[in-house]
């Protein structure tokens, strides 16, 4: 399917009640919905407790110095936060749009090998607060942190504020 500007990609159907997403299916849909994803070297995603974890290849993300390109790493950090929030909503039977409101990052060391990117709520109470705002206002926000490790060295710390938009009116 060729994507066109201004045309939303069809939503992935929700998982069965009480079931989480099949992350391999979600990753395939993500690559269709956001074509850039197919170029990022994403080898897989998994939940580890409250953290969404991606394994990524360095080679498609190299810069001119032979290390990780900051633009790719920043895009990946932003995207994993979007995925965390989207998957969290989907696990609750909600199909609401998610956007990043603010994002920041600190580069701590060069990325010189394949790497792992982790995303989790900044505050343990973040998901509960988001659920309360969704229940009362139909929209909400959550702050997520992302950490990138190459050979167990912390190379990047990022933070994003993700907004969950109100659900569209039923047709």
For 108-146, what is each residue's pLDDT tens digit?
999 999 999 999 999 999 999 999 999 999 999 999 999
- 80-84, 127-131, 137-141, 166-170: least confidently modelled range: 166-170
Is the pTM higher than 0.75? The answer reads yes
User: In this structure, what token pair is assigned to residue 144?
Assistant: 């997520």
Dist. CA 136–CA 151, nearest whole Å: 44
Report yes or no on 72 lying in a domain. Answer: yes
Report yes or no on 171 lying in a domain. Answer: no
Report yes or no on 7 lying in a domain. Answer: no
Report yes or no on 127 lying in a domain. Answer: yes
Say what the pLDDT of residue 169 is: 75
Report yes or no on 112 lying in a domain. Answer: yes
Report yes or no on 100 lying in a domain. Answer: yes
SS3 letters across the chain: CCCCCCCCCCCCCCCCCCCCCCHHHHHHHHHHHCHHHHHCCEEEEEEECCEEEEEECCHHHECCCCCECHHHHHHHHHHHHHHHHHHHHHCCCCCCCEEEEEEEEEECCCCCCCEEEEEEECCCCHHHHHHHHHHHHCCEEEEEEEEEEECCEEEEEEEEEEEECCCCCCC
Domain count within the chain = 1
Report yes or no on 106 lying in a domain. Answer: yes
Instruction: Kindly report the average pLDDT of the chain as a whole number.
Output: 95
| CATH value at residue 51 | 3.10.129.10
17 — pLDDT class (breaks 50, 70, 90):
confident
Asked whether 154 and 102 are in contact (CB, 8 A), the reply is: no
Report yes or no on 73 lying in a domain. Answer: yes
- Label residues 154-164 b or e (16+ Cβ within 10 Å = b): ebbebbbbbbb
Placement of tokens 């994803």 in the chain: 37
> Does residue 4 carry a pLDDT above 90?
no
Question: By residue range, what is the domain housing residue 152?
Answer: 23-164
């Amino acid at each position: 399917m060729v994507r066109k500007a201004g045309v939303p990609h069809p939503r992935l159907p929700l998982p069965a009640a009480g079931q989480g997403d099949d992350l391999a299916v979600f990753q395939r849909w993500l690559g269709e919905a956001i074509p850039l994803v197919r170029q990022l070297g994403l080898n897989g995603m998994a939940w580890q407790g409250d953290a969404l974890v991606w394994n990524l290849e360095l080679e498609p993300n190299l810069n001119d110095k032979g290390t990780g390109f900051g633009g790719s790493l920043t895009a990946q950090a932003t995207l994993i936060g979007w995925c965390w929030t989207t998957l969290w909503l989907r696990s609750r039977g909600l199909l609401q749009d998610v956007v990043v409101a603010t994002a920041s990052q600190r580069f701590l060391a060069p990325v010189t090998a394949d790497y792992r990117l982790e995303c989790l709520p900044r505050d343990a109470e973040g998901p509960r607060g988001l659920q309360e705002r969704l229940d009362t206002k139909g929209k909400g926000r959550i702050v997520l942190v992302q950490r990138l490790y190459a050979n167990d060295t912390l190379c990047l710390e990022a933070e994003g504020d993700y907004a969950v938009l109100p659900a569209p009116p039923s047709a």
